[in-house]
Structure 1
Amino acid sequence: MTVMRTAAVIGTGLIGTSAALALTARGVTVHLRDQDPDAARTAAALGAGVVDEPPGRVDLAVVAVPPAHVARTLAEAQSAGLARGYLDVASVKGGPGRDLAGLGFDLTQYIGTHPMAGRERSGPLAATAELFEGRPWVLTPTAQTDTEVLNLALELVALCRAVPVVMDAEAHDRAVALVSHTPQLLSSLVAARLQHAEESAVRLCGQGIRDVTRIAASDPGMWMDILSANPGPVADVLSAVAADLDETVRALRAMESADDGKRQEGGAGIEDVLRRGNAGRVRVPGKHGTAPAAYEVVAVLIGDQPGELARLFADAHAARVNIEDVRIEHSTGQQAGLAQLMVEPRSAPVLGVALRERGWSIRQ
């Protein structure tokens, strides 16, 4: 059985540093490299590893650089005999694999991977050893991938406490175009409508627009690297979305008509979009990767003071109610917000009563 004792992480951004932190925390000696020496030193200062060169071959080299630089970085590392096995964590898999073959890379020592985790912030200071816990980590082995390399990759996933998912590289790229890359662009498109909006409109922003535009805060440079490596599949998804948008615009225009028949037809079109959205949302995995459960929401008014959330969770614990999920809706211009506690339906009345008894204001 393969046991990883040493690793090299090339690229100390969010993903690379997070992986290094997880490995170091579990006893693996990690050697850090980055084209920006300050980034590597920052990661080392956070406890992610050391910037010293390894004395010999490491067990696994983890390449965490933008997709356009993956093949060259891997080829240089293999040429130097850095590791027994090599993998990358880029969000696109087909292109790097083809580039490596063109460079004459020994593909028996390589496996493409992609952890489905990230944050709006980038860089080593945004990293955390818990970033991958419970998240899918895609592995794309080929017929050429050596069993030892596959086992090293599986060990990395286990040490990061992620969930391994084996896929074909091209299927992976189509999948992430749908569930990751297109949502990023759509979020950015909606957020772009706010750039020159009237201030009176922006002041009305609530939780819905915050949810939709959250990932629009991501680094444009990083996303240009990703989208440049997967433009075709993303364009295919956006083309289908564009067709839906055209139909939706026509339906909305019809709802403005003085003709009852056209208004009804337009309304039916909008209802169809909303119902298809319901059906698609149901397929998004919920807690622990299972089908999403139907939770009840207990909304609690909380003040903007230190310790309020901790006190709320402690009171929920005292009521012996498990909080399945939580969202916070902030009140514009006020030092207060709503903590939306998602609980099992049978637990909602119990939690509501218990929190009222402890002085909390429960909102419908």
Structure 2
Amino acid sequence: MRTAAVIGTGLIGTSAALALTSRGVTVHLSDSDPDAARTAAALGAGVAEPAEGPVDLAIIAVPPAHVAATIAEAQRSGLAHGYIDVAGVKGGPRRDLQALGADLSQYIGTHPMSGRERSGPLAATADLFEGRPWVLTPTPEAETEVLNLALELVALCRAVPVVMDADAHDRAVALVSHTPQLLSSMVAARLEHAEETAVRLCGQGIRDVTRIAASEPGMWLDILSANPGPVADVLAGVAEDLGETVQALRALQSADEDKRREGVAGIEDVLRRGNAGRVRVPGKHGAAPAAYEMVAVLIGDQPGELARVFADAGAAGVNIEDVRIEHSTGQQAGIVQIMVEPKAAPVLTAALREKGWSMRQ
């Protein structure tokens, strides 16, 4: 690939453009908002000027509802030899393209499974897709040349290609992406009018659950409007669990011992099913989740503290598998939770204590 065009210079489009330009591809940028395209160009994502002739690949990074019309127009103008989109929904745009009579032999639907809470070109990074799955949903009509271009794009962005059926993809993202976004927003919405004394008690658990609730509502309206059925199907199952859990909790308030036992069984069931589902979430590098030991260290809120504890772990010969920070509300301190292989935990604990770190259980 020598040339590409990116239509839509938001987070995903600009990030793809940055990755391509960093690897020597000439990228032409356009957006319905010319200022966004100029901003992306100023960041080094390409040039905000049209190509003089057909480019190798056009990357359509617009909301799902606009994908088909944008590709059809680009095909009529002869913009590129191949076309892909990066929308979060795949079945609808493909059917819209068919209805418009677009050339499906030049098109492959794709979806990079990566993003951030922030949107727009200023949030873009060239490494956004590194190590992340990038779904491709080729139709039987798709030409091999276009598939190769799509695979080359994925490789240049250092992502991991995953081939799926378009409708299967939409059901999958409804489960693992779209429904979690709504649930996170619903939990966060409970905080909007909560008493200040309650909000001040927020800990790491509520931060984890509500992190993605900070996402841009307009972007998610576009995505959910394009995939309402599969999301509603997943939410219906969640609603059933919620109803049963509410009943179980009410039963725990009963004076009847049998009802209380039923309540305990209901709560235990949903918690155990949650354990079983959580185990299936892929761990480091996409492998099966590993059982790590946590080493908790109290650190002050000063520059260099994290670097120092990481350096001490490295000096002890311990590889850090994962890390989390639990902030102490209203305090100039926090707890760093360092995840390591079980056999490394006592080694790290002893080494950090020797260096004067305050350890926590």
Could you say which TM-score interval applies, normalised by the shorter chain? over 0.9
* Cα shift at 1:67: 0.4
Is the deviation greater in 50-59 or in 211-220?
50-59
DSSP 3-state at the match of 2:134: strand
2:63 match: 66
CA distance in structure 2 between the partners assigned to 1:308 and 1:36 by the alignment = 42
- For structure 2, which runs of at least 5 residues remain unmatched after alignment? none
Match of 1:192 among 189, 201, 204: 189
- For structure 1, which runs of at least 5 residues remain unmatched after alignment? none
1:127 match: 124
1:268 aligns with 2:268: no
2:172 match: 175
For residues 109-120 of structure 1, the aligned pairs below 5 Å read 109-120=106-117
CA distance in structure 1 between the partners assigned to 2:52 and 2:306 by the alignment = 48
- Counterpart of 1:273 in structure 2: which amino acid? V
DSSP 3-state at the match of 1:271: helix
Query: Deviation per CA, 1:21-74, whole angstroms, max 9, x where unpaired?
Result: 111111111111111111111111111111121121110000000001111111
* Cα shift at 1:308: 1.3
CA distance in structure 2 between the partners assigned to 1:25 and 1:307 by the alignment = 31
1:302 aligns with 2:303: no
1:359 aligns with 2:356: yes
- Counterpart of 1:181 in structure 2: which amino acid? H
- Counterpart of 1:196 in structure 2: which amino acid? H
Q: How many residues align?
A: 361
1:28 aligns with 2:9: no
Query: Deviation per CA, 1:292-330, whole angstroms, max 9, x where unpaired?
Result: 100001111111111111111111111111110111111
2:213 match: 216
- Counterpart of 1:131 in structure 2: which amino acid? L
- Counterpart of 2:164 in structure 1: which amino acid? M
For residues 1-364 of structure 1, the aligned pairs below 5 Å read 4-364=1-361
TM-score of the pair, normalised by structure 1: 0.98
Query: Deviation per CA, 1:199-232, whole angstroms, max 9, x where unpaired?
Result: 1100000000000000000000000000000000
- Counterpart of 2:276 in structure 1: which amino acid? A
- Counterpart of 2:184 in structure 1: which amino acid? S
Report runs of 4+ in structure 1 exceeding 2 Å deviation. none
Query: Deviation per CA, 1:80-120, whole angstroms, max 9, x where unpaired?
Result: 10101000000000000000111110000000000000010
* Cα shift at 1:255: 0.7
DSSP 3-state at the match of 2:45: coil
DSSP 3-state at the match of 2:240: helix
- Counterpart of 2:15 in structure 1: which amino acid? S
CA distance in structure 1 between the partners assigned to 2:141 and 2:251 by the alignment = 57
CA distance in structure 2 between the partners assigned to 1:358 and 1:50 by the alignment = 52
* Cα shift at 1:358: 1.4
Query: Deviation per CA, 1:255-284, whole angstroms, max 9, x where unpaired?
Result: 111011110111001000000000000000
- Counterpart of 2:354 in structure 1: which amino acid? E
Is the deviation greater in 300-309 or in 327-336?
300-309
* Cα shift at 1:176: 0.4
CA distance in structure 1 between the partners assigned to 2:35 and 2:269 by the alignment = 53
Q: Kindly, what percent of the aligned residue pairs are identical?
A: 83
- Counterpart of 2:277 in structure 1: which amino acid? G
- Counterpart of 2:259 in structure 1: which amino acid? K
TM-score of the pair, normalised by structure 2: 0.99
DSSP 3-state at the match of 1:188: helix
